[in-house]
Structure 1
């Protein structure tokens, strides 16, 4: 992990992806129909705070864009 790595919270993840906060949590829940095994895994920052590495969210968005581009070719 880069020393200057940013940790972002669920609201910011949702904003970056253009989805709701609930949809973010659904993507992380293996029991939910919207579960996505490729979605970056959250981690506990403290007892009541969960975060994601910003670089992993960016990489996920880039992966989705690459899939889209590949499908159109």
Structure 2
């Protein structure tokens, strides 16, 4: 079992920072295809009244973790 290192996280954060909105959309599709339950858990938060700002924060964290695990 591999671990996510600080280096993996740093690379994932940098990769996310440089992504265009089009690439982030493609990444969301990829997360949905590979981890539909995880992505669904994110989407359902809107039904619990989670604000857009918090949803954006959570989506970025989801993307960083996904990219780091790749």
More helix by share: 2
Relative contact order higher in (CA < 8 Å, ≥ 6 apart): 2
TM-score, normalized by the shorter chain, greater than 0.5: no
Q: TM-score, normalised by structure 1?
A: 0.33
More strand by share: 1
Higher Cα radius of gyration? 1
Q: TM-score, normalised by structure 2?
A: 0.34
